[in-house]
Amino acid sequence: MKKLKAILCIVLALSMVLVFAACAKDSGSGDSGKKDDAGSSGSSSTQTDSGNSDSGSGSSASVAPAEDTSNIPQDQLPDPNMTSTALHMFSSLDEYYNRPHELVPGSSVHLLATNDVPSQVPWNATAETWMLPNIYEGLAYTYMGQVNDVRPLIAESYTHSDDYLTWTFQIRDGIKFSDGTVCDAPAVAKSWGFYQEASPTSFNNVNIVSYEATSDKEFVVYLSAPCSYFEVSLQTMYILSPTALEQYGINDNRSAIGTGPYYIDSYTAGVEFVFKARPDYYYYDRMPVIETVICSIINDATTKLMALANGEIDGYTFRALESYYYLIDNDFDGSLLISNGNADPVFLNAKTVPEFCHHEVREAMSRFIDFNAINDLLYDGMGLVQTSMWTVGSSGEVPFDGYYYNEAEGLELMAQAGVDPKSMSFVAKIIDTGKDLFVTIQGQLDKVGMSMEVQPLEPEANFTFLKNGDWTLTSGNSGYSDARPYLAWTYILLPEHLIKECWQDLYDPDLYEKMKDEYYAMTSAPTWEEMLDHAHRLTTYEQEDFGCLNGIQVPFFGAYSKNVKDVVFITENHTLPWYYLYLAD
């Protein structure tokens, strides 16, 4: 496949290294844990098409909004020291800093929905991430997706007790849901009651035992134990109109009423969503500019590409390299953004492949699999080979120098274990979408005489297979994110977990006990820093034990019309905030 070309009129932002900042707890002073000001921002390095490093915009941007911001609270303003971003890609930082903050009547943008969302209340589907942050909000949010900068949102400020068990939120005045009803402290309490009914685990996972509105403006939450990630989790504990929930119930799309910058104006199943901006929206930094956002639902990749090329839509995100090269070859004159997906480690199952019980054999697997060659072959080198089991630059990453390709060294390790690679034969049953990766790994193992058959499965069958622990090799992460570095361990470590992927209990019980100790300390840590310290130790144990191998963060693309400005999207899940978009004059 041809390599990248430099062409005129394409803005190409290539993010190969993402820097995810650790979440600093309370920015306020004093033991009360006051939180009412903006925190600091993280940064990332980017590369242009020529491979030169820059700060993201090429110059130091300054906050220069057209309107007077003297009366705007500091936590609603952009960070004036930010020169690049941790979790987001920009077409231009200048566009972000100097964008308008007033709704333009009659303006519209036509995008593609990532997928259809038949159920639009936030607790009934996992496929609606692209939509949720645009129409729903929580008490707080992470500014620019950075876990070290948690800002009040529906709450104006908040404090916590010295023991981290009582959190008190002051609700902003004047907030309304998109149905016109008031969002005050009693409304928050009622909304959370419905949310807890629909998804009790969302509350159990952060140790919430009760909550109450102590006045129209004050909302108090009580925890059974400190939760280091409670503050970050607030952004996805969405608050919906209790009036709508009482009238229609928790499973009715008519209850999909939030406080966000946009609301659902209409929905045609399998065809499109139409969203409208809130003219009465309250938060300066998320103030919508474009009045109407149309999100068409198109499943066929070729149809999507032709719709963009013909100007029928204004942009979308995609994974296919062929689509990326098509746009370049046909002189697409909009913005092309390249980012990378999430962590994609390869786990080794010592339960089904007895040879994996030997440390030397697991380490040899790392020497036999050349991820750089796989990246070149499958992704034209545009993927990002991980240096850890977790996403490069993320808060939970621990870079490890033990992952590298060296076939001769791998054979020596096998000999030390007394295992002939030619005696090893197993079947890797994987979902069909991962077939190319595993077929490539199969070819590399063939070179040393190790036999691995690749058998694709349907996604439903694959999940059952994984849950039962009958797999041999598997690739991917279980719930890992920069804001939740602890979460993946809650799926993969203990025998009762959903998909057990750590098998030290079979071949190194002492190490497994140490890992369990770190797990329990991590999940009960009172602060983010303490939680992260234990998460790092868990990662170190798993990596140095070669219980899993590094993988590749696959490339992810965005293409947008030249008329669409301030394209900002979260690289972990590639969500596009519509409220930052505006149209060229």
Name the amino acid, one letter, at 316. Answer: Y
Please check whether the domain covering 346-553 is classified as CATH 3.30.300.20: no
Closest alpha carbon to 263 in 337, 178, 328, 326: 178
239 CB burial (10 A radius; 0-12, 13-18, 19+)? buried
pLDDT for residue 143? 87
Tokens of 513: 């006990």
Instruction: Please state the separation of Cα 175 from the chain's center in Å.
Output: 28
Instruction: Compute the distance between CA of residue 380 and CA of residue 370 in angstroms, rounded to an integer.
Output: 14
pLDDT for residue 279? 95
pLDDT at 61 over 70: no
Longest Cα–Cα distance in the chain: 74
Provide the CATH topology of domain 11-317+556-583: D-Maltodextrin-Binding Protein; domain 2 (3.40.190)
Instruction: Please state the separation of Cα 174 from the chain's center in Å.
Output: 31
Question: Up-side HSE of residue 408: CA atoms within 13 Å toward CB?
Answer: 0
Instruction: Compute the distance between CA of residue 46 and CA of residue 16 in angstroms, rounded to an integer.
Output: 7
Tokens of 49: 């098409």
Instruction: Compute the distance between CA of residue 123 and CA of residue 392 in angstroms, rounded to an integer.
Output: 30
Closest alpha carbon to 446 in 341, 548, 369: 369
- Same CATH fold assignment for domains 11-317+556-583 and 346-553: no
Neighbours of 527 (CB within 10 A): 15
Instruction: Please state the separation of Cα 334 from the chain's center in Å.
Output: 25
Beta strands in 36-144 (DSSP E): 45-47, 53-54, 88-90, 104-112, 140-142
- Share in percent of the chain as helix, strand, coil (round to 5): 30, 20, 50
* R_g of the chain computed on alpha carbons: 24
pLDDT for residue 125? 60
Q: Are 127 and 232 in contact (CB under 8 A)?
A: no
Question: What is the model's pTM?
Answer: 0.82
Pairwise pLDDT comparison (46 vs 440), residue with the higher score: 440
pLDDT for residue 149? 85
Name the least confident of 80-89, 255-264, 328-337, 525-534. 80-89
Tell me the average pLDDT across 186-195: 98
Tell me the average pLDDT across 515-537: 94
pLDDT at 173 over 90: yes
Q: Are 228 and 530 in contact (CB under 8 A)?
A: yes
Instruction: Compute the distance between CA of residue 351 and CA of residue 17 in angstroms, rounded to an integer.
Output: 35
Q: Are 210 and 192 in contact (CB under 8 A)?
A: no
Instruction: Compute the distance between CA of residue 548 and CA of residue 473 in angstroms, rounded to an integer.
Output: 9
Q: Are 396 and 536 in contact (CB under 8 A)?
A: yes
pLDDT at 404 over 80: yes
- Helix crossing, 528-544 with 509-523: angle to 10°? 160
Neighbours of 336 (CB within 10 A): 20
pLDDT for residue 463? 67
Q: Can you give 357-422 as a three-state secondary structure string?
A: HCHHHHHHHHHHCCHHHHHHHHHCCCCEECCCCCCCCCCCCCCCCCCCCCHHHHHHHHHHHCCCHH
DSSP letter at 20? Answer: P
- Pairing mode, if any, of strands 290-296 and 104-112? parallel
Instruction: Compute the distance between CA of residue 583 and CA of residue 563 in angstroms, rounded to an integer.
Output: 5
pLDDT for residue 570? 72
Residue ranges of domains in the chain: 11-317+556-583, 346-553
Pairwise pLDDT comparison (431 vs 125), residue with the higher score: 431
329 membership: H or E segment, kind and range: helix 321-329
Q: Are 558 and 315 in contact (CB under 8 A)?
A: yes
Name the least confident of 64-68, 87-91, 350-354. 64-68
Name the amino acid, one letter, at 72. Answer: I
Residues 254-307: tens digit of each pLDDT: 999 999 999 999 999 999 999 999 999 999 999 999 999 999 999 999 999 999
Instruction: Compute the distance between CA of residue 93 and CA of residue 11 in angstroms, rounded to an integer.
Output: 13
Tokens of 435: 């077939």
pLDDT for residue 571? 66
